[in-house]
Amino acid sequence: MNELIDSILERLNILEGKFEKAETREHSHAGFGFGTAESLTINGGIITRTRTTNVFEVRTQGGAGTDNLDTILGGIKGDVIIIVAYDDAHDVVCKDGTGNLSLPADMTLDNSEDIEMLYYDGAMWCEITASSNV
């Protein structure tokens, strides 16, 4: 796990040109203690995150079979989050360029093992990596 974290930090260094030391940031992800997943429901294409965790199980609005995720509210520059579909019966489509998500393309989380890992640059949530598991 530490090798994965080191790899992610190295990628962030490249993206930012430098990675600020934890002491100089508004808050720290030292050790990337992602914590227990929090369930968030899409509302009009938007989820609003809290700072209590960095892993989010995303539910579709009104239990719809498919719902678009355009925008993630909340966060400060340097935040890293992981989003997953709440379950296998409801697809969450992460939309590139519609709101504040910057992805290579739209990403459909169609089972609870699909993930989208994002870095907040202060304006956009940028994809670090994604995994579509059948």
The pLDDT-based confidence of 66 (bands split at 50, 70, 90) is very high
16 token code pair: 């930012």
* Per-residue DSSP letter, 54: S
Task: Answer yes or no: is pLDDT of 77 > 80.
Answer: yes
pLDDT tens-digit map of 3-50: 666 666 666 655 554 444 433 334 344 445 566 788 999 999 999 987
Of 65, 84, 81, the residue nearest 73 (C-alpha): 81
Domains and CATH numbers, the chain: 33-131 (2.60.120)
Neighbours of 43 (CB within 10 A): 11
Is the pTM value of this prediction over 0.85? no
pLDDT of residue 102: 98
For range 117-127, the mean pLDDT? 96
**Residue whose structure tokens are 């429901």:** 41
